[in-house]
Amino acid sequence: GRVVQKIKYLFFVFSIHIFISLSSLGNAEATFKLCQDIVDHCNSASVFEVGLCVGYLEAVADNGEVGVCIPENTTPKQLTQKFINWAQTNQRGGIWDAYGCVAASMIDSFPCKGL
């Protein structure tokens, strides 16, 4: 009865969420080839594009391979602004690949002190 319907509904909602999440990840990978691509998204008026930017920045920072120490109280807006400021002076004319650019900006902006 009702319990089975509720389980089916929750499974459906969960499936849609997973599909949307995977689609967004694919969009980010397809969208971000160069550093300038990310900068453009971070500076966009579109909430969706800024969301992709923040998601990509956080994913690189959380990767574990990069070795950064972002303070817990850092907001997505602060993270984005640090990246934009760094990219404006360090991106080598926009020719850096997206991942390398974001990783370098995170290492420079949020180094782990004492490690």
For residue 42, the model assigns a pLDDT of 93
The larger pLDDT score, comparing residue 45 to residue 62, is at 45
Q: Is pLDDT above 90 for 22? A: no
pLDDT, tens digit (0-9, with 9 covering 90-100), for 60-115: 888 777 788 889 899 999 999 999 999 988 866 567 888 889 999 999 999 887 65
Average pLDDT, the chain: 78
Asked whether the whole model's pTM tops 0.85, one would answer no
| Phi, psi for 110 (deg, rounded to 5) | -135, 60
Higher pLDDT pick, 76 / 12: 76
Mean pLDDT of 12-37: 58
Cβ 42 vs Cβ 83: under 8 Å: yes
DSSP string, 4-64: HHHHHHHHHHHHHHHHHHHHHHHHHHHH-SBHHHHHHHHT-S-HHHHHHHHHHHHHHHHSS
Q: Which two tokens stand for residue 41?
A: 């998204």
| Cα atoms found within 13 Å of the Cα of residue 30, Cβ hemisphere only | 6
Q: For residues 113 and 115, give the distance between their C-alpha atoms in angstroms, rounded to a whole number.
A: 6
